[in-house]
Amino acid sequence: MKLPTLPTLLHQERQRNLAFEKAKELSNGKGIINLGAGIHRSIFAHSTAHSPEVVLNVDVKPDGVSNYIQLDLEQTPYPFEDKQFSVCFASHILEHLENWQAALDEMKRISDWVIIVLPHPFDIFAVLNPNHKQHFTKKTIDSIKDSNVVIYY
Protein backbone atom coordinates (compact mmCIF):
# COMPACT_ATOMS: atom_id res chain seq x y z
CA MET A 1 0.00 0.00 0.00
CA LYS A 2 1.29 3.45 -0.90
CA LEU A 3 1.89 5.85 1.99
CA PRO A 4 -0.20 9.05 2.32
CA THR A 5 1.31 12.14 0.71
CA LEU A 6 2.70 14.99 2.78
CA PRO A 7 -0.23 17.33 1.88
CA THR A 8 -2.69 14.63 3.01
CA LEU A 9 -0.87 14.16 6.31
CA LEU A 10 -0.66 17.91 6.90
CA HIS A 11 -4.39 18.31 6.20
CA GLN A 12 -5.23 15.51 8.65
CA GLU A 13 -2.98 17.01 11.31
CA ARG A 14 -4.57 20.45 10.83
CA GLN A 15 -8.08 19.00 11.15
CA ARG A 16 -7.20 17.11 14.33
CA ASN A 17 -5.62 20.22 15.85
CA LEU A 18 -8.63 22.42 14.98
CA ALA A 19 -10.97 19.79 16.39
CA PHE A 20 -9.08 19.45 19.65
CA GLU A 21 -8.85 23.21 20.08
CA LYS A 22 -12.65 23.33 19.74
CA ALA A 23 -12.97 20.51 22.29
CA LYS A 24 -10.82 22.44 24.77
CA GLU A 25 -12.90 25.56 24.16
CA LEU A 26 -16.13 23.65 24.93
CA SER A 27 -14.74 21.88 27.98
CA ASN A 28 -16.41 23.56 30.95
CA GLY A 29 -15.20 21.84 34.05
CA LYS A 30 -16.46 18.29 33.47
CA GLY A 31 -13.58 17.75 31.07
CA ILE A 32 -12.96 15.81 27.88
CA ILE A 33 -13.22 12.07 27.37
CA ASN A 34 -10.76 11.10 24.65
CA LEU A 35 -12.01 8.02 22.80
CA GLY A 36 -9.48 6.00 20.85
CA ALA A 37 -6.69 7.60 22.81
CA GLY A 38 -3.92 5.21 21.82
CA ILE A 39 -0.80 7.27 22.39
CA HIS A 40 1.18 4.73 20.36
CA ARG A 41 -0.50 6.02 17.18
CA SER A 42 0.96 9.51 16.75
CA ILE A 43 2.54 12.54 18.36
CA PHE A 44 -0.88 14.20 18.23
CA ALA A 45 -2.50 11.28 20.10
CA HIS A 46 0.22 11.41 22.74
CA SER A 47 -0.12 15.17 23.35
CA THR A 48 -3.93 14.97 23.36
CA ALA A 49 -3.94 12.17 25.92
CA HIS A 50 -1.74 14.24 28.24
CA SER A 51 -3.68 17.49 27.84
CA PRO A 52 -4.92 18.87 31.19
CA GLU A 53 -8.49 19.17 29.84
CA VAL A 54 -8.66 15.42 29.19
CA VAL A 55 -10.04 13.70 32.28
CA LEU A 56 -10.23 10.22 30.77
CA ASN A 57 -8.52 8.39 27.89
CA VAL A 58 -10.23 5.32 26.44
CA ASP A 59 -8.92 2.69 24.03
CA VAL A 60 -9.12 -1.05 23.42
CA LYS A 61 -5.38 -1.40 23.97
CA PRO A 62 -3.64 -0.43 27.23
CA ASP A 63 -1.24 2.46 26.71
CA GLY A 64 0.16 3.36 30.11
CA VAL A 65 -1.49 6.78 30.42
CA SER A 66 -2.43 7.57 34.03
CA ASN A 67 -6.02 8.59 33.33
CA TYR A 68 -6.76 5.66 31.02
CA ILE A 69 -9.29 2.85 30.88
CA GLN A 70 -9.56 -0.05 28.48
CA LEU A 71 -12.97 -0.21 26.78
CA ASP A 72 -14.35 -1.73 23.58
CA LEU A 73 -16.40 1.05 21.97
CA GLU A 74 -18.49 -1.59 20.16
CA GLN A 75 -19.93 -2.64 23.53
CA THR A 76 -22.80 -0.36 24.53
CA PRO A 77 -23.94 1.14 26.80
CA TYR A 78 -20.71 2.73 27.94
CA PRO A 79 -20.08 2.63 31.72
CA PHE A 80 -20.57 6.37 32.22
CA GLU A 81 -23.38 8.56 33.51
CA ASP A 82 -25.51 10.70 31.22
CA LYS A 83 -23.71 13.98 30.43
CA GLN A 84 -20.76 13.00 32.64
CA PHE A 85 -18.30 14.83 30.36
CA SER A 86 -18.29 18.23 28.69
CA VAL A 87 -16.88 16.87 25.46
CA CYS A 88 -16.42 13.49 23.86
CA PHE A 89 -13.45 13.75 21.48
CA ALA A 90 -13.30 10.99 18.85
CA SER A 91 -10.56 11.41 16.26
CA HIS A 92 -10.45 8.72 13.56
CA ILE A 93 -12.54 6.28 15.57
CA LEU A 94 -15.94 5.83 13.90
CA GLU A 95 -14.51 4.32 10.72
CA HIS A 96 -13.11 1.45 12.83
CA LEU A 97 -16.49 0.47 14.31
CA GLU A 98 -19.09 -1.91 12.89
CA ASN A 99 -21.97 -0.02 14.49
CA TRP A 100 -20.80 3.58 14.44
CA GLN A 101 -24.36 4.87 14.93
CA ALA A 102 -24.70 3.14 18.31
CA ALA A 103 -21.28 4.48 19.34
CA LEU A 104 -22.27 7.99 18.29
CA ASP A 105 -25.51 7.71 20.27
CA GLU A 106 -23.49 6.73 23.34
CA MET A 107 -21.10 9.63 22.80
CA LYS A 108 -24.06 12.02 22.72
CA ARG A 109 -25.49 10.43 25.87
CA ILE A 110 -22.34 10.72 27.97
CA SER A 111 -21.30 14.25 26.94
CA ASP A 112 -22.66 17.72 26.26
CA TRP A 113 -20.74 17.95 22.97
CA VAL A 114 -19.23 15.44 20.57
CA ILE A 115 -16.23 16.38 18.43
CA ILE A 116 -15.55 13.93 15.60
CA VAL A 117 -12.64 13.82 13.20
CA LEU A 118 -13.11 11.51 10.20
CA PRO A 119 -11.00 10.76 7.17
CA HIS A 120 -11.89 12.92 4.20
CA PRO A 121 -14.53 11.12 2.03
CA PHE A 122 -12.13 11.14 -0.94
CA ASP A 123 -9.06 9.94 0.98
CA ILE A 124 -8.09 6.84 -0.98
CA PHE A 125 -5.84 5.65 1.86
CA ALA A 126 -8.80 5.64 4.23
CA VAL A 127 -10.87 3.70 1.70
CA LEU A 128 -8.13 1.11 1.24
CA ASN A 129 -7.25 0.77 4.94
CA PRO A 130 -8.13 -2.81 5.93
CA ASN A 131 -8.83 -1.70 9.52
CA HIS A 132 -11.60 0.66 8.39
CA LYS A 133 -15.00 -1.00 8.60
CA GLN A 134 -16.80 2.13 7.34
CA HIS A 135 -16.29 4.58 4.55
CA PHE A 136 -18.00 7.87 5.24
CA THR A 137 -19.63 9.54 2.27
CA LYS A 138 -21.08 13.02 2.04
CA LYS A 139 -24.50 11.51 2.89
CA THR A 140 -23.31 9.86 6.11
CA ILE A 141 -21.35 12.94 7.11
CA ASP A 142 -24.45 15.08 6.51
CA SER A 143 -26.45 12.74 8.76
CA ILE A 144 -23.85 13.24 11.52
CA LYS A 145 -23.96 17.01 11.06
CA ASP A 146 -27.74 17.02 11.60
CA SER A 147 -27.21 16.62 15.33
CA ASN A 148 -27.07 19.89 17.25
CA VAL A 149 -24.40 18.59 19.67
CA VAL A 150 -22.01 16.97 17.16
CA ILE A 151 -19.25 18.94 15.50
CA TYR A 152 -17.49 17.24 12.62
CA TYR A 153 -14.00 17.84 11.21
CATH number at residue 108: 3.40.50.150
pLDDT at 105 over 60: yes
What does DSSP say about strands 54-59 and 150-152: parallel, antiparallel, or unpaired?
A: unpaired
Write b or e for each residue in 96-115: b if 16 or more Cβ atoms lie within 10 A of its Cβ, otherwise e: bbeebeebbebbbbbbbbbb
Do residues 15 and 117 touch, judged by C-beta distance below 8 A?
yes
Average pLDDT of span 71-87: 96
Rounded mean pLDDT of the chain?
82
Q: Indicate whether 1 belongs to any domain.
A: no
Coil, helix or strand at residue 33: strand
pLDDT at 91 over 80: yes
81 part of a folded domain? yes
User: Global pTM?
Assistant: 0.82
Which residues constitute the domain of residue 58? 6-152
How many domains, the chain? 1
CA distance 29 to 76: 25
Confidence of residue 147 (pLDDT cuts 50, 70, 90): confident
% pLDDT > 90, the chain: 38
Q: Is the pLDDT of residue 31 over 70?
A: yes
